[in-house]
Amino acid sequence: MAGDFDPIEDGPPRLPSPEARRFRVDFGLMFIASLSLSAGIAVWITQGPGTFFHLLWGDTAMILSLLPKIFGGILLAIALAMILPRDRVLRLVGPDSGLRGLVIASGAGAVVPGGPHVTYPLAMGLMRAGADAGAGTAMVSGWVLLGLNRVLIWELSFLPGWLVALRLVLTLWVPVVVGQMARVWARRSPVPDDAHQGRQR
């Protein structure tokens, strides 16, 4: 659904047509739903209804606690795409930004605080504003591998300093490499029909 909304460069956002807003069930959703249903049935059979409902209420409480964060993340992705200057984003982390753009995206991912409810919407918002798939991949990879928040608070608290430094040195180049691989793949792959529906209309 997020792929059906794309801000227009020279004007206000244009809402997608009713056909574009139609709900679509993709393979990932079907797979997760089937896996969850199968796991629930297995717990009911092997552990009994009591355990099943105990887990169900616990998972429901966790989902309700995550909903505000997910909602905020969606708003963040939409707002960034609308307020960031597209020409500046293209220059810094766009498809023609070269190695410098991947380094910038990796560094941005490394310094972003918070969890996935912040990082993924931020990466999506930047991509909506002009960043390419390589920069988005580098940013997420930088957050996963080089996140300073995790390094300072967790890794240095429990692991020897030399081990943390060694891990950072060994993984420092990885976000740039995977970003370049994603950039090459995106250039060689056909663009999905619905990837730019907002611009085509």
What single string gives the DSSP state of each residue in 13-79?
A: --PPPHHHHS----HHHHHHHHHHHHHHHHHHHHH-HHHHHHHHHHHHHHHHHHHHHHHHHHHHHHH
Please say whether the beta carbons of 201 and 14 come within 8 A. yes
Query: Confidence class of residue 192 from pLDDT cuts 50, 70 and 90?
Result: low
Q: What is the pLDDT of residue 179?
A: 93
Separation of alpha carbons 137 and 139, rounded Å: 5
The predicted structure's pLDDT at residue 173: 93
**Overall number of domains in the chain:** 1
pLDDT band at 15 (very low <50, low <70, confident <90, very high): very low
State yes or no: pLDDT of 8 exceeds 70: no
Cα torsion 39, 44, 50, 51 to 10°: value is: -30
What's the rounded Cα separation, in Å, for the pair 200 and 114?
A: 35
Q: What is the mean pLDDT of the chain?
A: 80
Residue 149 belongs to domain spanning: 2-200
| Distances, alpha carbon 56 to alpha carbons 29, 43, 74, 149, 196, in Å | 19, 11, 26, 32, 39
pLDDT tens for each residue of 109-158:
999 887 887 888 888 888 888 889 999 999 999 999 998 888 988 899 89
Least confident residue range of 85-99, 101-115, 183-197: 183-197
For residue 1, the model assigns a pLDDT of 43
Look up the pTM and report it.
Answer: 0.67
User: Which of 47, 139, 44 minimizes the C-alpha distance to 89?
Assistant: 139
